[in-house]
């Protein structure tokens, strides 16, 4: 039987002692990441009854699960829609429309656009990340490519005055990406929710008030 590396053992110890992992398990949530979204959404009161939300990089479903619950709580008569997509499969969630596929492929993107059906999207979320190799020169360009695709999707489908929330990794290309967001949105904030691990280079860019035309 293979023994785990020291780094793997350290990650497992950190994971199972993490208060957000324990809380998610106790509350029946699929992922501790739900608490990142909860903090980001509630701080700026981003959810409204009847919203159409697209969740990119959704598996294992923590964000979609929390969103569906919150939208139902806000107004069960106006449940809105949660459309989730990921390259990894995930067990179904009642009231969540899931698409399995690679967002980088035109066919999968077309499937998502068909599902949206020409309706203006109120909120686009992206928690997408590539499989990390630990080599920044490889990982950061892959992550930035996904971020650019998510921005393009929001350009085409997010309604004017809509909101775009995306996970970014600090490093090469980060400042240029944020600059592009500022051309497109009235307000852009960089946030680090409490549930994000301190050593992680991830941050979240919250872009609010999509402009009718880029400046």
Cα–Cα dist 23/35, whole Å: 9
Number of domains comprising the chain = 1
CATH number of the domain to which 45 belongs: 3.40.50.150
4 within some domain = no
List the one residue out of 37, 33, 39 whose CA is nearest residue 53: 37
Q: Going by DSSP bridges, is the β-strand pair 158-169/202-210 parallel, antiparallel, or unpaired?
A: antiparallel
The reply to whether 155 sits in an annotated binding site is no
Considering all CA atoms of the chain, what is the largest pairwise distance in Å, rounded to the nearest integer? 59
177 within some domain = yes
pLDDT confidence of residue 155: 96
pLDDT confidence of residue 141: 85
SS3 197: coil
Catalytic residue among 48, 167, 187, 210: 167
| Domain interval for residue 189 | 33-210
Contacts (Cβ under 8 Å, ≥6 apart) of 2: none
Respond yes or no: is residue 187 known to be catalytic.
no
Phi, psi of 179 (to 5 degrees): -60, -40
The reply to whether 66 sits in an annotated binding site is no
pLDDT confidence of residue 2: 47
6 within some domain = no
The reply to whether 127 sits in an annotated binding site is yes
The reply to whether 86 sits in an annotated binding site is yes
Question: Consecutive sets of 10 residues in the chain, 215 residues long: mean pLDDT of each?
Answer: 53 54 62 85 93 95 94 93 95 96 91 90 93 71 92 95 96 94 98 83 95 88
38 within some domain = yes
pLDDT confidence of residue 1: 42
148 within some domain = yes
pLDDT confidence of residue 17: 63
């Amino acid at each position: 039987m293979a023994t785990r590396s020291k780094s793997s053992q350290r990650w497992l110890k950190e994971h199972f002692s993490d208060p957000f992992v324990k809380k998610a398990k106790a509350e029946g949530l699929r992922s501790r990441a739900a608490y990142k979204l909860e903090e980001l959404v509630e701080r700026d009161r981003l959810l409204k009854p009847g919203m159409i939300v697209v969740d990119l990089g959704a598996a294992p479903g923590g964000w979609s699960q929390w969103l569906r619950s919150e939208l139902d709580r806000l107004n069960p008569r106006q449940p809105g829609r949660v459309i989730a997509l990921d390259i990894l499969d995930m067990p179904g969630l009642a009231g969540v429309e899931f698409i399995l596929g690679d967002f980088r492929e035109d066919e999968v993107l077309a499937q998502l656009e068909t599902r949206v059906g020409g309706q203006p999207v109120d909120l686009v979320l992206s928690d997408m990340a590539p499989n990390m190799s630990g080599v920044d020169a490889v990982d950061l360009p892959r992550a930035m490519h996904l971020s650019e695709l998510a921005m393009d999707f929001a350009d085409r489908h997010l309604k004017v005055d809509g909101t775009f929330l995306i996970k970014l990794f600090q490093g090469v290309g980060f400042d240029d990406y944020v600059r592009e967001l500022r051309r497109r949105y009235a307000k852009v904030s960089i946030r680090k929710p409490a549930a994000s691990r301190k050593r992680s280079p991830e941050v979240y860019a919250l872009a609010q008030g999509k402009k009718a035309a880029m400046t």
